[in-house]
Amino acid sequence: MRKALLLLPFLAGCVPATPIVSDYNGDSVTIQTSMLADQAEVKVNAQAEADRICAKKGKRAEYASSRQVAEYTNAHLFLCL
């Protein structure tokens, strides 16, 4: 068990920071990301994906909040303004 915990930081660099759109209603979009990926890259990729989705309706994405939805998964809420 201890070896697994020691390897966790090294594995974090191996997880892609691919954002997944989990919810969209025209006024907001929720993007799910892995907590194991590089958080700076996650932030940039989540914003880019939210911008892409909101732009389909001629709007821009503005970050609102984040929450943990499952083990090692965050959901980022963006408002489409």
Give the pLDDT score at 2: 52
- Which pLDDT does position 16 carry in this prediction? 79
Residue 79 has what pLDDT?
Answer: 98
3-state secondary structure of 60: coil
- List the chain domain ranges: 2-80
Q: What is the pTM of this model?
A: 0.80
pLDDT of residue 63: 98
SS3 37: coil
Q: What is the pLDDT of residue 3?
A: 53
Q: What residues in the chain have per-residue pLDDT under 50?
A: 5-6
> Can you give the pLDDT at residue 72?
94
